Amino acid sequence: MYIIGAGLSGCLAGVLMPGARLFEAAADAAHLAEHRAVLRFRTDRIAQALGIPFQKVLVHKSVYDGTRHSQWVTPAQHNAYARKVVGALVPRSIINLDPAVRWVGPANLHAQLVELCVARIRFGHRLCRVSTESVQFENEVYLARADVPVISTIPLGHLLPRLHPEVPCPEPLRHAAIFTERYGVAGCGMHQTIYFPNPALSLYRATLTGPDLILESMHPLGDSERHYAFTAFGLKQSEPILRGEARMLQQWGKIVELPAGVRKTLLLNITLTANVYSLGRFACYRNSLLDDVYQDIFRIREMIKMGHYDLRKQVASS
């Protein structure tokens, strides 16, 4: 088994598939893209599988308009939020503001997964071409791999032109960059998410996960929007302390999902053409949590055992 990409999805697959080799474009572990998302999970299955303790919490959510909070989102607010983050009227997480039980992973979860896989990660391997005959990197070629499946966790738009023969995508792949800032709030044990649908603001979401405060925006924030977020949580302006160089651009921040039928057909064609299985949000162009990736890893393991006929039947019935 070959796994392309050593991000969270790739390393989780690597831990659960201990015989797999991972290939990563970054030069070494220190240059891996740092994971900046809030690590909340719907269940503790990943924690149990990894033997890494997660914290069970109750998350409260609201929409803030500058004067008051609401636990009810109007259609206009949802649509304004969707337009702001992805430029399209599609369902976003703001649609459900009910309190939710979640499990919170450690902030260094990605680093822990890398450490578990590091002996099997080939760094400095940027994918050039992949087919049923070989996987070609800029500095190395692996031949005769018709019976060696590949899991790709790299963005779908990066994979498609590297397939041989190339698989066309029937729809544009749309994504947007985001900016994140991470702060520490001493003595805080709350778990809260606030959404900001106002289109005049670049800030769109802020999250307290215990002592960590994460601000997310479509453009770099100014002091006025930072203070706006702090006020929404009832924090004094001096309480949040920036965590080192914690302001960061994430080039792959948001995606517009492909329609389900288009996505399934495209991913099936990739598998049938090059024996490549796509895993993760950006590889599949589907908004998903790491819980979904965990389930998909086991689905892929089952799919690998199937012939083309059974694969088509499974995709058609899913």
Tens of pLDDT, residue by residue over 231-260, are 999 999 999 999 866 678 887 788 889 999
Helix, strand, or coil (residue 34): coil
The domains of the chain are located at 2-36+107-172+256-317, 43-105+175-255
Peptide bond into 172 cis (omega under 30): no
150 within 8 A of 247, measured Cβ to Cβ = no
State the pLDDT at residue 48.
Answer: 94
Average pLDDT over residues 54-61: 96
Which of 2.40.50.100, 3.40.50.10950, 3.50.50.60, 3.40.140.10 would CATH assign to domain 2-36+107-172+256-317?
3.50.50.60
Residue of 223, 212, 217, 213 lying closest to 198 (CA atoms): 217
Cβ-contact 279, 267 below 8 angstroms: no
Q: Is the dihedral of CA 284, 287, 293, 297 positive or negative?
A: negative
Q: Is-contact 268 312, C-beta < 8 A?
A: yes
Cβ 170 vs Cβ 160: under 8 Å: no
Q: Rounded CA gap, 228 and 282, in Å?
A: 31
Using the predicted structure, report yes or no on whether residue 49 has a pLDDT greater than 70.
yes
pTM to 2 decimal places? 0.90
pLDDT value of residue 307: 73
For residues 228 and 189, the answer to whether their CB atoms sit within 8 Å is: no
> Is the dihedral angle over the CA atoms 13, 14, 15, 18 positive or is it negative?
positive
